[in-house]
Amino acid sequence: MRRSVLVGCGSYLPDRLVTNFDLEKILDTSNDWIVERSGIHQRYFAAEGQLTSDLATHAAERALHAAGLRGGDVDLVVLATATPDQTFPATATKVQARLGMTRGAAFDIQAVCSGFIYALAVANNFIRTGQADVAVVIGAETFSRILDWQDRTTAVLFGDGAGAVVLKGVKGHGDISDRGVLSTHLHSDGRHGHLLYVDGGPSSSKQVGHLRMSGREVFRHAVVNLAEVVTETLTANGLTAADIDWVVPHQANRRILDGTAKKLGIDPAKMVVTVDQHANTSAASVPLALTAAVRDGRIKTGDLVLLEAMGGGFTWGAGLVRM
Ligand code: UT7
């Protein structure tokens, strides 16, 4: 038996900082509305010509550095994104080339805001079954490219960025006190696709398209689905909310984070919150938040960390990691 241990993480934010006050100048909106409804104060946007693969490569290099490994050590890249550089090739293969990795496999995962949890689950299963030894798992997005600047209900909510973790295979099944990915739990329900989608794409349209969201409905489903998958994760591992050291949630809306914590009886002080700084960066948000909390010393080796996310599809999921 094998398991995968998270041996490093890293993140990257582009230089261009955009505050709510900047958005007030181009949209019929206000800092007060954005902060009150979402908790967002600012976001970062990629520079013109700066691609998802650029953000992803920086994050992956930083995660490998933190793990004391190099591109040549890696035999799997799983990259979650809904904003790939091109329709094909996979953005992951561009990152693979830039990391100097010439063996193994690299591919993209598409589960929108849940993408990182899906990618983590896939990489963890590759390692457990002996198909990979060292995996770089990346969430990277340039959502600024698919925002409709005529639609104030969505344009104020998203940002660009990337985060990555390195998983390494070790011998032994391990138990709950051992470092490693303890479990992952994935769900989707395609009946809700019309509530959060992009109105373009290669098969349906000549355009890349823009993000469309029925915010209120998505909000309602998010709190219910996230509470369910967190409960499923705790139950599968014989734990209660009190046993978890940190929750690293997808960062869509401060009110979703507070609502989920309340519903589950999780101490709000255990929730890692970056939505105020980064806005919603889709697949990048969980590894960005994880890296922020590792870097500032909150999350330490040995901590029990629960990751969760919900996004378009709908897709949702959670993962439990002993760091
Ligand atoms: O990451 C994937 C998952 N995504 C999410 O989880 C997002 C879930 N949804 C949300 O976060 C929230 O629903 C939003 C932040 C999108 C919206 O908050 P809300 O409390 O649901 O507001 P609302 O959509 O009900 O809109 C309230 C009002 C409306 O005006 P009326 O109809 O009440 O007069 C909107 O027109 O706010 C208005 N409004 C705005 N006002 C100023 C909508 N957007 C803006 C804006 N600035 N940017």
What are the tens digits of pLDDT across the range 41-94? Answer: 999 999 999 999 999 999 999 999 999 999 999 999 999 999 999 999 999 999
Active site residue 113: yes
**How would residue 29 be classed by pLDDT, with cut points 50, 70 and 90?**
very high
* The pLDDT of residue 173 is above 90: no
**pLDDT for residue 166:** 98
Which of 153, 171, 189 is the C-terminal boundary of a domain? Answer: 171
Q: What is the 37 CA–ligand 1 centroid distance (Å)?
A: 7
150 shares its domain with 224:
no
* The pLDDT of residue 16 is above 90: yes
Q: What is the 213 CA–ligand 1 centroid distance (Å)?
A: 10
Q: What range does the domain containing 280 cover?
A: 180-322
> What integer is the mean pLDDT of 298-306?
98
**pLDDT for residue 121:** 98
Distance between CA atoms of 238 and 305, rounded to whole angstroms?
15
Is any atom of ligand 1 closer than 6 Å to the C-beta of 244? Answer: no
Residue 67's φ and ψ, nearest 5 degrees, are -85, -5
188 shares its domain with 164:
no
80 shares its domain with 159:
yes
- CATH value at residue 240: 3.40.47.10
**pLDDT for residue 212:** 98
Domain count, the chain: 2
Query: Of 9, 20, 113, 225, which one is the catalytic site residue?
Result: 113
* The pLDDT of residue 32 is above 90: yes
* The pLDDT of residue 287 is above 90: yes
141 shares its domain with 206:
no
Active site residue 9: no
**How would residue 20 be classed by pLDDT, with cut points 50, 70 and 90?**
very high
Model confidence pTM above 0.95: yes
Query: Of 192, 250, 253, 278, which one is the catalytic site residue?
Result: 250
Is any atom of ligand 1 closer than 6 Å to the C-beta of 216? Answer: yes
- Count CB atoms within 10 A of the CB of residue 107: 16
190 shares its domain with 163:
no
**pLDDT for residue 76:** 98
146 shares its domain with 264:
no
Distance between CA atoms of 67 and 136, rounded to whole angstroms?
11
**pLDDT for residue 200:** 97
Nearest to 196 by CA among 208, 212, 209: 212
312 shares its domain with 197:
yes
Nearest CA to ligand 1 atom 21: 216
Is any atom of ligand 1 closer than 6 Å to the C-beta of 156? Answer: yes
Which of 171, 203, 238 is the C-terminal boundary of a domain? Answer: 171
